[in-house]
Structures are given as structure tokens and as C-alpha cells.
Amino acid sequence: MKVVGINGSPRKDWNSGTALDFALKGAGDAGAETKRFDLFDLSYSGCISCFSCKLLGGKSFARCAVQDDLTNVLEEILSSDAVIISAPIYYSDVPGAVRNLYERLLFPPNLYSAEGKTGYDRRIKVGLIYTMGAPDPSFNNNCAENDKNAFELFIGDTEILNITDTYQFTDYSKYASSMFDPELKAARKRDVFPTECQKAYEMGQRLSK
Ligand SMILES: Cc1cc2nc3c(=O)[nH]c(=O)nc-3n(C[C@H](O)[C@H](O)[C@H](O)COP(=O)(O)O)c2cc1C
């Protein structure tokens, strides 16, 4: 059992990275081999619309032909049993770095098939952990639901963990942030975030079964 974790935040050990580590710990404790990738360490593009992944008889059929730092990450995901992607929400969506990954993971198996045939021959379980400043995912149009639909079509069964009202800076008094109550934010970080991390841990355990 191999579980690949993807951190889609430029911050390695803040909300998304911390929740991801809990999920990978849960997977590891359930007996899985785990690997973590930090997307912001890598240099890569999104889909370049070359259509090599749809060229009948082509050597990259149903695979992304672009060769860059994401190539190895895609290979690791496609040889895994489960992938857990943890990302912040930027403007009601995942950051561009994560969207670029989605394009290159989800488009190659989309064979534009009238019969609903897809290009990956095995299913991989998926966990999406989205962390956001808003108090409820509906403020961000429940964006994880759209991604879940795409992952379930082309990758595998997908579960979502939305982590809301996250702590954004180390010291609220030093940053422009008058719309937030620093005490409420600190209380949320102290009392609620650990319970969300526990849910991430349990997600990791579930996906490893
Ligand atoms: C550029 C930028 C845009 C953001 N846009 C949103 C947003 O649209 N909705 C939201 O709920 N939070 C938004 N946030 C807050 C982050 O999603 C939130 O703080 C997240 O937990 C940060 O993750 P991290 O701690 O792993 O970096 C934004 C933050 C940044 C830096």
C-alpha cells in the first residue's frame, strides 16, 4: 500500500502542510508507505494542449507527455494506491500550482470516449483536504465538490475534508487584519484546528485500508 501526499501550499508547515502530515501519519500508522511532495519546490507547467495523450498509437497515449518536475510526481501518483492532496483556497479555488497538477493528472485519462472509457486502468483512492480562511466552504462555492466529481470520473473514490476559518499569520497585531478578531482566531487554532487534524489523520487511515 503506497500513499502519496501532495502539499499545494507555498507554506510547508502551516495549515495545509500540517493537515497533510497528520493524514500521512494516519496512513503510515495503518501500515502504508508514504511520500510527500511540496509542489512549490518544483518547476512545471500546466497542460500545454499538445494532445499527445489522445494520439491513437502514440507513446504518451493516456499519459502526460510534458517532461518537467511534475513528471515524477505524476508517476508516483499513478503507481500509488491513494493520493492525498492538501491545499489552501485562493480566490475560491485551489492555487494555480495545484490546478496545473489537476490538468496534467485528469486530462490524459479523459479519452473523450462516447462509451465513457477512461485511460487509467486502475482506480486510486483520493483525499482532498482544502484549508480556507472563510468560515464555511459555501463562501468558496463548495469548490471541493467540483474537483471531487472530476477525480471520481478519472481517478477513484474521493473524500473531502474542508478545514475552515484557518489561522493566517503568527501575530495578528502585526498585519492588516481588522476584519478578524485575533482572540477568536487564536481560540479556533487552539480548539478546532487540532480536531480537523485528527479528521485528516483518520482520512489517512481510511484511505490506507
Ligand atoms: C492569495 C490568497 C487568496 C486567498 N483567497 C481565499 C479565498 O478565496 N477564500 C478563503 O476562504 N480563503 C482564502 N485565503 C486564505 C487561505 O485559503 C487560508 O489562510 C489557508 O488556510 C492558507 O493555507 P496555508 O496555511 O496552508 O498556507 C487566501 C489566501 C491567500 C494568500
Q: What is the DSSP letter of 65?
A: -
Q: How far is the CA of 20 from the centre of ligand 1 (A)?
A: 16
Q: What is the DSSP letter of 58?
A: -
Joined together, the cell numbers standing for residue 109 give 485519462
Element (H or E) spanning 208, and its range? none
Atom of ligand 1 nearest to the CA of 7: 26
Residue 24 has what pLDDT?
99
Q: Treating both helix axes as pointing N-terminal to C-terminal, what angle do 143-154 and 96-106 enclose, rounded to 10 degrees?
A: 20
pLDDT by residue, tens only, the chain of 209 residues: 999 999 999 999 999 999 999 999 999 999 999 999 999 999 999 999 999 999 999 999 999 999 999 999 999 999 999 999 999 999 999 999 999 999 999 999 999 999 989 999 999 999 999 999 999 999 999 999 999 999 999 999 999 999 999 999 999 999 999 999 999 999 999 999 999 999 999 999 999 99
Residue 122 has what pLDDT?
96
Q: Is 196 helix (H, G, I), strand (E, B) or coil?
A: helix
Percentages (nearest 5) of helix, strand, coil residues in the chain: 40, 15, 40
Residue 113 has what pLDDT?
95
Domains, the chain, ordered by start: 2-207 (3.40.50.360)
Q: Is 84 helix (H, G, I), strand (E, B) or coil?
A: strand
Residue 103 has what pLDDT?
98
Q: Is the pTM of this model over 0.95?
A: yes
Is 9 touching ligand 1 by the criterion CB < 6 Å? yes
Is 18 touching ligand 1 by the criterion CB < 6 Å? no
Residue 31 has what pLDDT?
98
Instruction: Give the C-alpha separation, 100 to 34, whole Å.
Output: 23
Q: For residue 42, which amino acid is it?
A: L
Q: What is the DSSP letter of 1?
A: -
Joined together, the cell numbers standing for residue 145 give 465538490
Residue nearest to atom 29 of ligand 1 (CA): 90
